[in-house]
Amino acid sequence: MKRALITGVTGQDGSYLAELLLEKEYKVFGLRRRTSTPNYENVEHIKDQIEWIDGDLTDLSSLIRAIEVSQPDEVYNLAAQSFVATSWPQPIATGEITAMGVTNMLEAVRIVKPDARFYQASSSEMFGKVVETPQKETTPFYPRSPYGVAKVYGHWITVNYRESFNMFACSGILFNHESPRRGLEFVTRKVTDGVARIKLGLANELRMGNLDAKRDWGFAGDYVRAMWLMLQQDNPDDYVISTGETHTVQELVEIAFNYVGLDWQEYVVLDEKFVRPAEVDLLLGDCNKAKKKLGWNLEVSFEKLVESMVDMDLERLGKKSFKQLKIYL
């Protein structure tokens, strides 16, 4: 039985990855940090199958202990302050968790179990003000937020530990990926939750920032398969994971409102509060390397993804899916 340690297991990706590894009969250890109220929403259904270890990415001693206890074959470092907008008002915390936290994890692995395979959650946000399109593994980085800067550090320290200590360390440069488990502050979930609220009569507007930004959005369940595949190869390497399609935020809004038969222009209000000090205008990934070398492929399209998120939010908020609601409308 293989053993894996996941940091960030209570987050969107951590929960899908834990499901995947449990299906593959791994023994799964999950690092959880102390919170004032329990935060198991994404993993409630598999909570008892995970061995929980208390720790925090900013506390090296807790990470050393986590590696000692779990003795992992594979470590997936998914924990981060991951919301770009928060990285301006909290740049230091973002740096300590999202940048230095990676060094803490790598040190814990190097000290206790240097033969463990290591996955770092790198991000397309590192491409920022993009210098070429589409973006691939060799595209230079130009981050546009404290979060993006922190991820560039995390990326290069992972490459450096691979080259300095011969560790099996990989970075997945993942483009935006979403699901019904996405945090409510990220734009896809904010829109699908907002549309569901409006449809159910719980709200009458949706306040948004920059509708012109373009993102390459995929489904999180497809993306965690790529993480696992990276650690099953003969050699460690870095890979871009993306759909190869880009859409504006406005297109996202249109698809979600159309799905429930509403005109977005009647409800969306532009609010400066959601406009960022510096924007990443366009992301579009070239994932040919991952397709060729990992045999990775997508299963869920953008439209299907948005519609399933609207359905899940309608169900959560109204306790009925839109398909069921339609029967009564």
Separation CA 204–CA 215 (nearest Å) = 26
Q: Tokens in use for 89?
A: 């008002």
94: contact with ligand NAP by CB under 6 A: no
- Residue of 218, 228, 221 lying closest to 285 (CA atoms): 218
Separation CA 15–CA 287 (nearest Å) = 24
For residue 84, give the amino acid letter.
Answer: V
User: 125 or 254, CB closer to ligand G4F?
Assistant: 125
294 touches 239 (CB < 8 A): yes
At residue 213, φ and ψ (nearest 5 deg) are -60, 145
At residue 27, φ and ψ (nearest 5 deg) are -90, 120
User: 116 or 241, CB closer to ligand G4F?
Assistant: 241
Give 179's contacts (C-beta < 8 A, 6+ positions apart): 12, 16, 219, 220, 221, 305, 309
Q: Is 76 a catalytic residue?
A: no
User: 199 or 216, CB closer to ligand NAP?
Assistant: 216
Query: Which of ligand G4F, ligand NAP, none sits in contact with 7, Cβ below 5 to 8 A by type?
Result: ligand NAP
82: contact with ligand NAP by CB under 6 A: yes
Considering only residues 28-47, where is the footprint of ligand NAP by CB under 6 A? 31, 33, 35, 39
Q: Which of 33, 47, 129, 276 binds ligand G4F (CB under 6 A)?
A: 276
99: contact with ligand NAP by CB under 6 A: no
7: contact with ligand G4F by CB under 6 A: no
Query: Which of ligand NAP, ligand G4F, none sits in contact with 11, Cβ below 5 to 8 A by type?
Result: ligand NAP
274: contact with ligand G4F by CB under 6 A: yes
Q: Which of 15, 70, 82, 103 binds ligand G4F (CB under 6 A)?
A: 82
Active site residues: 123, 125, 147
